[in-house]
Amino acid sequence: MFTKSCLDLWREEKEQAGIVTFCKDLDQAIGNGISVGLITEFCGPPGTGKTQMCIQLAVNVQIPPTLGGLGAKVMYFDTNFGFNPNRLEEVATACTHHCQKLVQIHRKDLAKTISHFTVDSILDGVYYKHIHECSELLDGIEELEQFLKSGQQIKLVIVDSFSFLIRNNIENTLQRIRIGHIILTKLHMLAHRYKCAVIITNDVTTRIDSSDPNGSTVLPALGESHSHKINQRIVLGQTGDDEEPGVFIASIEKSLLQRRTSVKFHIGEDGIRKFRKK
């Protein structure tokens, strides 16, 4: 009945590669990049890099395993028209150039392997679907499961934005919780069974303090119950420093393995990168 020990599970986790973000500080802060088998949430107000992070990860998961990637494909569910194929192409171009440079300098023996990692192959490796209603997302998840059962190498599933879909389709709070739990339970099952990473994005909301008319707190949307259904939460925000354009902060607020910490990252034409002091 028991086929694995805790030692076996520990070894599997240690050997399992994650999906790098191209911000080394962030990758180290969460262990080894975005973990497969788990649901990771990027949360924050508009303009803090949630969709940019999704696009970067959709590119990076396709990097060949010989260069530290997973060499896999992506299922991208877009709920609020935030996805931009031109931006995907821009980030993909920068990534291929980066990988080609690494091969030329350090691993010339991999030149043939990297020749198949092109902008066109990256764009072709992202399965895109726009979602209007929760029922469409559930149908999409069923289609995803069939793809995985057939052996397709999909290692990243993105729902951007999960909160936009739930909040704009369901008014009743209890119904929001119920439907949200159904969707996340299905995604978690697929993530665990097929060792793929699930990324969802969440907005923030303001809670008014009833005891203090002037008091308010900014919190992740969808409530406390929702937070129990995700494995990892990374809150994105702006630095508030006009002298650091394109610089943002990623705060690890929930993690199964890592302590709470915050790191800076940069968003530029090439995508997500490590913050470097001038």
pLDDT tens per residue, range 114-163:
778 899 999 999 999 999 999 999 999 999 999 999 999 999 999 999 99
Q: Which residues pair with 238 in a beta bridge?
A: 248
Please tell me the distance from the alpha carbon of residue 201 to that of residue 199, in angstroms, as a whole number: 7
User: What pLDDT digit, counting tens, does each position of 111-127 carry?
Assistant: 777 778 899 999 999 99
Helix, strand counts (H, E) of the chain: 10, 11
- The structure tokens listed for 74 are 């992506």
Report whether 231 contacts 256 (CB < 8 A).
yes
Closest C-alpha to 75, from 169, 18, 135, 143: 143
State pTM to two decimals: 0.91
**Rounded-to-10 torsion of CA 72, 75, 78, 81:** 50
Mean pLDDT value across residues 207-223: 71
Partners of residue 197 on adjacent β-strands:
156
In the predicted model, what is the mean pLDDT of residues 60-77? 94
Q: What integer pLDDT is reported at residue 15 of this predicted model?
A: 62
Q: Given a cut of 80, is residue 6 above it in pLDDT?
A: no
CA nearest to 157, candidates 58, 13, 256: 58
pLDDT for the residue numbered 9: 65
Which of 167, 147, 166 minimizes the C-alpha distance to 157? Answer: 147
Residues 6+ apart with CB under 8 A from 83: 51, 54, 55, 76, 128, 160
What residues form DSSP beta bridges with 268?
A: 271
Q: Smallest Cα–Cα separation from 184: which of 165, 208, 162?
A: 162
Torsion of CA 22, 26, 29, 35, to 10 degrees: -60
Structure-block tokens of residue 124: 């072709």
Q: How many CA atoms lie within 13 A of 1 on its CB side?
A: 0
Is a pLDDT exceeding 90 seen at residue 214? no
Long-range CB contacts for residues 251-260, cutoff 8 Å, separation at least 24: 252/29, 252/30, 253/43, 254/227, 254/230, 255/30, 255/31, 255/231, 256/38, 256/231, 256/232, 257/31, 257/35, 258/29, 258/30, 258/31
Place of tokens 């002037």: 214
Taking only the tens place, the pLDDT of each residue in 225-265 is 999 999 999 999 988 766 678 899 999 998 877 788 999 99
Side-chain half-sphere CA neighbours of 184 within 13 A? 24
Domains and CATH numbers, the chain: 20-274 (3.40.50.300)
Task: Compute and round to an integer the Cα radius of gyration of the chain.
Answer: 19
Considering the chain, what is the average pLDDT of its residues? 89
In the chain, what percentage of residues exceed pLDDT 70?
Answer: 91
Q: What are phi and psi of 191, to 5 degrees?
A: -60, -45
Asked if the model's pLDDT at residue 57 lies above 90, the reply is yes
pLDDT at 209: 62
Count CA atoms within 13 Å of residue 255 on its CB side: 22
